[in-house]
Amino acid sequence: MMETSTTPIWELRDIIIEAGATDIYKCYQCGKCASVCPWYQTEAVNFPTYKFPLAAQLGRIASSEGKEELAREVEEVYRCVGCEACVEQCPQGVNIPNTLRAVRRILVDYGSYPDTLKPVVSKIHNVGNPLGEPGEKRRDWAKDLAIPLFQPGMEYLYFPGCFPAYDPRLRKVATSTAKVLKKAGVSFGILGEKEWCCGEAIRRAGAEKIFQEAAQSNISAFRNAGVKKVVVTSPHCYTTFKNEYPLLGADFEVFHITQLFYQLIEEGKLKPHQLSQLPELGEPNDSKSQRAKDPIKVVYHDPCTLGRQNGIYEEPRGVLKNIPGLELLEIGDFSHQFALCCGGGSGGLWLDWPKGERMADIRVQQAIETGAKVLAVACPYCLQMFEDSVKTMNLGLKVMDIAELLAESL
């Protein structure tokens, strides 16, 4: 990360502070952040997070002039997944991911950022989603369900987000969600092609200008449609709508879908039935009749952006606890605010780390050690990261979104 020379580069320090690293001087180098960083759990990676605030104070972060040395520094700066485990534990309230985001903004301005992120940024700029799919197909997931476009007078705008709108696997999360909302009699519509990527991931990757474009596009679309309440599938949409869009002029309430599901169950508008089996649940040693009697063991993974960053821990668990036939398990010391990140945040979804450097591999191993057959998630990034790991590690674990489990029970 730092060059061997210790000469400070004050000009770079000032640019980093200007770009958002305002609390670097509070760091007193205790090292607590490094001990809770998920990279600490990987055997192959040394990621000394405590060095970043000091390096930023000296302007000696991603400052090399040599091409190879700079590439190594850039790789390090982009390892941070924005999980905020360090933020929660720092006794000084230093926000390391914000410092790294500030550095990334400078790197993006100079085009010195990972090649795999460049097409993601340009696709969002060009067509409003990281998959590069045409806007007119954004509503295709809903075509068999007759979901209407949002009209004034409807209570909620359902905002599935990019992957649930386009990705063939993740579309099942959006369709399950819509089926549950319809079953509960919720008044909702969608925006279809007027919906753009929320921009959260690219903002954390440093592409601030494209984030601003995406945010303004959504804010205008919501305002023009008369939207007052938005319910989202992705915690990444949730946090950026709730905590960042209001600073850009947005004026709407936002709910994560697990909050609404739980509310609907509490109000008696959803009554889950006994779930005795799940399609594709691989249990080769269990007979079907035994499986019908035994509860399905499910372990819940707290997405960083939903749990640690927004304090939503109990509603997702509340939904799962209200599905008869499920037994909810926890991942011992790595649950709630101590949950290990899946590795997909802040651009991590598009950075292909080699075996031995994947947080999701560690997390699915933790999940399977609980005895669970299902790993329940509430985030499209987590679902993709964990399904990839389960596949490459050949584990007998099914990854399902809470919306899918709830839809199965209705």
- Distance, in Å, from the CA atom of 287 to the CA atom of 340, rounded to the nearest integer, reads 33
Binds ligand SF4 by CB under 6 A, chosen from 21, 77, 86, 326 = 86
> Which residue from 185, 67, 205 is spatially nearest to 123, judged by alpha carbons?
205
- Distance, in Å, from the CA atom of 49 to the CA atom of 73, rounded to the nearest integer, reads 13
Binds ligand SF4 by CB under 6 A, chosen from 57, 63, 78, 97 = 97
Please, what is the minimum distance in Å from the beta carbon of residue 55 to ligand SF4? 12
Class of residue 32 by CB neighbours under 10 A (exposed 0-12, middle 13-18, buried 19+): middle
Binds ligand SF4 by CB under 6 A, chosen from 9, 32, 125, 221 = 32
Which is closer to ligand SF4, CB of 123 or CB of 308? 308
Q: Are 309 and 239 in contact (CB under 8 A)?
A: yes
Q: Per CB under 6 A, does 83 bind ligand SF4? A: yes
Q: Per CB under 6 A, does 49 bind ligand SF4? A: yes
Q: Per CB under 6 A, does 299 bind ligand SF4? A: no
- Distance, in Å, from the CA atom of 44 to the CA atom of 40, rounded to the nearest integer, reads 9
Strand partners, 189: 157
- Distance, in Å, from the CA atom of 398 to the CA atom of 377, rounded to the nearest integer, reads 11
Chain centroid, CA 218 distance in Å: 19
Q: Per CB under 6 A, does 94 bind ligand SF4? A: yes
> Which residue from 242, 248, 165 is spatially nearest to 211, judged by alpha carbons?
248
Q: Using CB under 6 A, which of the segments 75-83, 129-137, 290-298, 361-369 binds ligand SF4?
A: 75-83
Backbone CA torsion sign across 146, 152, 155, 159: positive
Please, what is the minimum distance in Å from the beta carbon of residue 88 to ligand SF4? 9
Query: What number of chain residues touch ligand SF4 (CB under 6 A)?
Result: 27
Q: Per CB under 6 A, does 90 bind ligand SF4? A: yes
Binds ligand SF4 by CB under 6 A, chosen from 17, 55, 62, 85 = 85
> Which residue from 121, 264, 82 is spatially nearest to 183, judged by alpha carbons?
264
Amino acid at 97: P
- Retrieve residue 409's tokens: 């029970």
Q: Per CB under 6 A, does 37 bind ligand SF4? A: yes
Which is closer to ligand SF4, CB of 55 or CB of 230? 55
> Which residue from 41, 45, 99 is spatially nearest to 339, judged by alpha carbons?
41
Q: Per CB under 6 A, does 27 bind ligand SF4? A: yes
Binds ligand SF4 by CB under 6 A, chosen from 13, 17, 21, 53 = 53
Q: Per CB under 6 A, does 92 bind ligand SF4? A: yes
Which is closer to ligand SF4, CB of 359 or CB of 406? 359
Q: Interior CA angle at 86 toward 85 and 92, to 5°?
A: 135
Which is closer to ligand SF4, CB of 191 or CB of 351? 351
Binds ligand SF4 by CB under 6 A, chosen from 17, 19, 21, 33 = 33
Q: Per CB under 6 A, does 110 bind ligand SF4? A: no
CB atoms within 10 A of CB 5: 9
Binds ligand SF4 by CB under 6 A, chosen from 21, 74, 96, 264 = 96
Q: Strand (E) positions, 275-387?
A: 296-300, 326-329, 374-377
Q: Using CB under 6 A, which of the segments 29-37, 182-190, 260-268, 381-389 binds ligand SF4?
A: 29-37
Q: Which residues bind ligand SF4 (CB under 6 A)?
A: 27-33, 36-39, 49-50, 53, 80-86, 90-92, 94, 96-97
